[in-house]
Structure 1
Amino acid sequence: MRLVVVGNGMAGSRLVSEVRARDPHLPITVVGAETCQPYNRVLLSNVLAGSTRPEQVRLLDPSWYAAHRVEAVFGSAVTCLDRDTRAVVTEDGRRVPYDVLVLATGSDAIVPPIPGVERAIPFRTLGDCERILESAGSSRRAVVIGGGLLGVEAARGLAGRGLPVTLLHLAGHLMERQLDVEAGEVLGETLAGLGVDIRTGVTAQAVQADGVLLADGDLVEGDLVVLACGVRPVTGLAADAGLEVRRGIVVDDEMRTDDPSIFAIGECAEHDGTVYGLVAPAWEQAGVAADVITGGKALYRGSRMVTRLKARSVELAAMGETQLTEEHAEVVRFTHRARGTYRKLVIRDGRLVGAIVLGESDAVGTLTQLFDRGGPLPGDRAGLLFPGLSATAHVADSPTLMPDAAKVCQCNNVTKGQIRACWEAGARDVAGIAAATRATTGCGTCRDAVEGIVGWLCEQEGVSA
């Protein structure tokens, strides 16, 4: 059986490594449109901010493919999927036959159809990031169009480099998909304090040489314009081949399309009506597909979404149904706008179905676990928002009180128990834990927790971390 994977981004490269870990002999060919090795797209905002170097976001070294007998075809996009002969054709004319095909084509940045938009730089790929950084070095002022997660991270990253930034957003508040109105306003006030000028409820009419013209006639000055207007699943290849496509490529619980020999995973896939835009679901899907392809049994039942903002001096986590009000759920809320603090719990049938934590807090670990497990909540709701004030609160951020079943790394589904097992097997530092479990290699926000667990384990045994 010959496996062909179209797409070598975060989903495709994970699928290849997962399959190879299960079957060392299965012939694998991976075809990627980008010329460079796969990289962690989630960490591009860190590259933009200067806290991470481009070489630090690489996922698989080129030597990995040869060492694991994987044929890698990079720099030539697939232009045709021939289901009759079971082959894919690349733009340079190469024909690659398959028995099983996995589509991991990801998403493209949405570029608004406005005059002069070619002057702007989308923020999607490593190449985009490098272009933005090059332009930032000679720019006097930047404008970011789009106030979703990526736009906020881009604006904060550029402001952190000392560049005056204006963030433009069509909706009435930032990150409206993840945050309610008040949380979006508090986030905007926090960013304003860090040097980002926020303008919500505005429409970009055109990109000009001296800035962005708004629909109301105002000109927002800037010689660097960055687009963060969202993404769109890349489904053209599947649609042209006659596969079922809605918003994404439709798949079942085994990640199969309506052609049993073709799978789809990651941002291009639509499962049960949902297209996921975060790395953790893509990696979960890759694991399920790898199991099925190598003869195992696995089902994907959807993912519980936890969004973490990666921006210096801005702590934000949002999960689940954050928009529900008191009419439909029990809502517990605390706001201290002067300190940039906003905390909200959304509870239904005694279980946490949504939460927002903005500002420094030791509650995030506990809330994430309660949301992920869907278990019953303690009666002391205030103790969940302020763990340090409650003697009965279950402080998950303390390694001593954290159960082994607690999930530490959301991106890679790694528990405290797995970290403990790796430590007992000889992995005595974060690098060793990461190599064995992949913890910390996704969005990176769990690094402090992993360091804390390793330090605690070393302290218990009286050894040096």
Structure 2
Amino acid sequence: MSTRIVVVGGGTAGARLAQRLPVTLLGEEPHAPYNRVLLADVLAGRYEPEVIALPAPQEPVRRGVRAVRIDRAARIVECEDGTSVGYDRLVLATGSNPVLPPLRGLRGSRLPSGVHPFRTLDDCLELRALVRPGVRAVVIGGGLLGVSAARALAALGAEVVLTQQGERLMERQLDEQASALLRAHVESLGVEVHTECRVSGLRQEGGAVTAVELADGFVLDAQVVVLACGVRPRIGLARDAGLEVRTGIVVDDELRTSDPFIHAIGDCAEHDGRVYGLAGPALEQADALAGVLLTATADPAPITTPVTAGPAPSTAGAAPDTAPDTAGTTEGPARVTAGATEGPAPVTSGPAAVTAATADAAPVTAGAPAYTGTRALTRLTLGGAESLDLAAFGEATPRPGDDVVQLTDATRRAYRKVVVRGDRLVGGVLLGDLAAVGALARAWEGDEALPHAPLLHLLTHDGGS
């Protein structure tokens, strides 16, 4: 491929594209691209970092290189180390940043000692070095990310408290009954769970966290605090380059931004008004873009700008990536008001999860369809004396007129529920027994009319097929 493609970001989306096409991949982290889905298992000590490495890209990754400016006129990406890279097509796969809640004791992007987000491999390794049996750890955020972090910390022997501002754990994905079963399992791991609980501040001594203050005046002693309050797309680089941004970088069905020579994929991209923040859509977008780039017939003539070793040219008004984003997103850890929603990648456990998240897809061929969106399924496996598997997709809360089928087996801690609207499956939740999830996911993703059979068949192991 003669067209020079530069990819900014070595996460799930960027690494996937680099496996498909020969590109120059600029990875900000010092590590080789890795499977972010399995970070909780690294934190728990179940996997070492090398186990979660993604398949090698076609060309070597430039690690530890941070892009700081895009010169769209010259089609150059300028990097923090003073180098610059010319491109014919640029792909932004800048991912997302952890959200920092508005707490007393958090100032700027510098966190007190013992306070960590839960987003990168370095976050996991730093936490793993801090935590030992008996350490008091507080996790702020009871969504998928917070539940995963609490489970991992408990596996290390920490005394864990999980705080959730909402009424229940994983309230975005689970209904009330499923969430209650999840809470019971998390508590069986030794985690103390507090819901409808708003954290107001952190206490420190000598620059190190000592406690978490709740809005009702209650104080939780803490030697380690994990911030699992969700993520926000990294859009600063795109915004500073004058690209259209909303919540994420706005793209069309060819994952193209407002600049026809620049694309965006993964957590940073906003397609059809939606930012997914999940691994599955990131992989699908990367595959779709590979098809778009392979079949493009109107590529511009290459620009012969070489990679330079000297300082990158500067321009007036170029903002660093740490500059505040007036849309509510920053290139450092993001700050939002209380009540931020969460959008982490789904978490699974076990070696099979590595394969499922990183296996090569079918080769992209000419005429590959454009990206039209992803129906994302969330899966999570929580360990313990008896592990708990859960899956959630679509709309788990029915509307008036919807049909609901629900089965509960208290002795096996199994719960299954699907929501049907007309002749379409629109959502479901499964805990404990996921044997039917494959058939249900296919029916939901295909968005086709359900067969004429009793709805109860949807929850059988073959999904009624």
TM-score range (shorter-chain normalised) is 0.7 to 0.9
Which residue matches 1:176? Answer: 171
SS at match of 1:191: helix
Deviation at 1:348, TM superposition (A): 1.2
What secondary structure sits across from 1:110 in the alignment? strand
1:160, CA displacement in angstroms? 2.4
Q: Is the 8 A contact 1:190 1:340 kept in 2?
A: no
Does structure 2 conserve the Cα–Cα contact (< 8 Å) formed by 1:122 and 1:227?
yes
Amino acid at match of 2:390: L
Count of matched residue pairs = 377
Are positions 1:258 and 2:258 aligned together? yes
Using a 3 Å threshold, how does the CA distance of structure 1 residues 115 and 95 change in structure 2: closer, same or farther?
same
Given that residues 132 and 156 in structure 2 are in contact (C-alpha distance below 8 angstroms), is that contact kept between their aligned partners in structure 1?
no
Listed one character per residue, the Cα deviations across residues 164-188 of structure 1 (whole Å, up to 9, x for unaligned) are 2111011111111111222222211
Q: CA deviation at 1:11?
A: 0.6
Equivalent position SS for 2:194: strand
- Residue in structure 2 matching 1:109, options 98, 104, 121: 98
Does residue 211 in structure 1 map to residue 211 in structure 2? yes
Gaps of 5+ in 1: 21-27, 395-465
Question: How far apart are 1:71 and its partner, in Å?
Answer: 5.4
Secondary structure at the aligned position of 2:246 is classed as coil
User: CA offset at residue 31 of structure 1?
Assistant: 1.0
Output the CA distance in 2 between the equivalents of 1:210 and 1:360: 41
1:47: which partner in 2?
42
Q: State whether residues 244 and 250 of structure 1, in contact with CA within 8 Å, keep that contact through their aligned partners in structure 2.
A: yes
- The answer (yes or no) to whether the contact 2:134–2:159 under 8 Å persists in 1 is no
Q: Deviations over 1:294-347 (max 9, x none)?
A: 22443001001100013211210000111224x141111233456533221010
Q: Could you say which residue in structure 2 is the equivalent of 1:247?
A: 247
State the 1:51 CA deviation: 2.5
Corresponding residue number in structure 2 for 1:16: 18
Pairing of 1:273-284 with structure 2 (within 5 A):
273-284=273-284
**Contact 1:37–1:60 (Cα < 8 Å) also in 2:** no
2:378 paired residue among 304, 307, 327: 307
User: 1:344 — aligned with what?
Assistant: 417
Hey, what's the Cα distance between the residues in 2 that align with 1:341 and 1:194? 18
> Is contact 2:133-2:157 (8 Å) kept?
no
Output the CA distance in 1 between the equivalents of 2:248 and 2:287: 19
Q: 2:449: which partner in 1?
A: 376
Q: Distance in 2 between matches of 1:114 and 1:82?
A: 37
1:399-419 CA-to-partner distances (Å, cap 9, x unmatched) read xxxxxxxxxxxxxxxxxxxxx
Offset of residue 361 of structure 1: 3.9
Q: Alpha-carbon deviations, 1:125-161, whole Å to 9, x = none?
A: 0000001111112652211111111111111122123
Instruction: Provide, for residues 322-380 of structure 1, a one-character-per-residue CA deviation record: whole Å limited to 9, x for no partner.
Output: 1224x141111233456533221010122211010012342222212222222333422
Query: Aligned pair in 2 of structure 1 residues 12, 361: CA closer, same or farther (>3 Å)?
Result: closer
Equivalent in 81, 93, 102 of residue 92 of structure 1: 81
The answer on whether the counterparts of 1:321 and 1:354 sit within 8 Å (CA) in structure 2 is yes
SS of the counterpart of 2:150?
A: helix
Instruction: Answer yes or no: is the 8 Å Cα contact 2:162–2:193 preserved in 1.
Output: yes
Deviation at 1:385, TM superposition (A): 2.1
Distance 1:71 1:48, change over 3 A: closer
Whole-angstrom CA distance in 1 between matches of 2:62 and 2:134:
37
> Following superposition of structure 1 onto structure 2, how do residues 265-414 of structure 1 map, counting pairs within 5 Å?
265-295=265-295, 296-297=366-367, 298-312=369-383, 313-325=387-399, 327-336=400-409, 339-378=412-451, 379-387=453-461, 393-394=464-465
Secondary structure (helix, strand or coil) at the match of 1:210 reads strand
Q: Distance in 1 between matches of 2:185 and 2:63?
A: 42
Partner in structure 2 of residue 419 of structure 1: none
Contact 2:13–2:265 (CA under 8 A) maintained in structure 1 = yes
1:130 and 2:125 correspond: yes
Deviates more, 1:32-41 or 1:158-167: 158-167
Q: CA deviation at 1:32?
A: 1.4
| 5+ residue gaps, structure 2 | 204-208, 296-365
Indicate the SS of the match to 1:294: helix
1:382 shift after superposition: 2.2
CA deviation profile, 1:219-270 (whole Å, cap 9, x unmatched): 1222111111100000001011111100000000000001110000000000
How does 1:218-237 map onto structure 2 within 5 Å? 218-237=218-237
Is the contact made by 2:418 and 2:427 (CA closer than 8 Å) also made in structure 1? yes
Q: Which residue of 1 aligns with 2:72?
A: 83
Q: Is the partner of 1:309 in helix, strand or coil?
A: strand
Is the deviation greater in 120-129 or in 336-345?
Answer: 336-345
1:73 maps to which of 62, 66, 86: 62
Q: Report if the CA contact (8 A) 2:138-2:163 is conserved.
A: yes
Taking structure 2 as the reference length, the TM-score comes to 0.77
Q: Encode CA deviations 1:277-310: one digit per residue, 9 max, x unaligned.
A: 1111111111111111122443001001100013
Where does residue 197 of structure 1 map in the other structure? 192
Deviations 1:390-433 (A, max 9, x none): xx943xxxxxxxxxxxxxxxxxxxxxxxxxxxxxxxxxxxxxxx
- CA change 1:31–1:211 in 2 (3 A) is same
Give the secondary-structure state (helix, strand or coil) at the position aligned to 1:357: strand
Q: Would the aligned equivalents of 2:285 and 2:371 in 1 still touch at CA under 8 Å?
A: yes
Q: Is the CA contact (8 Å cut-off) linking 1:235 and 1:245 kept in structure 2?
A: yes
Matched with 1:456 is: none
Identify the residue that residue 425 of structure 1 maps to in structure 2: none
Shift of 1:384: 2.5
Task: Give SS of 2:392's match.
Answer: strand
Alpha-carbon distance in structure 2 between the residues aligned to 1:380 and 1:260? 50
Higher share of residues assigned helix: 1
Cα deviation code 1:203-225 (max 9, x no counterpart): 11112233211011101222111
Q: State whether residues 26 and 65 of structure 2, in contact with CA within 8 Å, keep that contact through their aligned partners in structure 1.
A: yes
CA pair 193-337 structure 1, distance change in 2 beyond 3 A? farther
Q: What is the CA–CA distance in structure 1 between the aligned matches of 2:416 and 2:458, rounded to whole Å? A: 10
CA distance in 2, matches of 1:387, 1:293: 40
Q: Which moved more, 1:92-101 or 1:113-122?
A: 113-122
- Measured against aligned partners, the alpha-carbon deviations of 1:82-133 in whole angstroms (never above 9, x if no partner) come to 1111111001111111110000000011112323342311000000000111
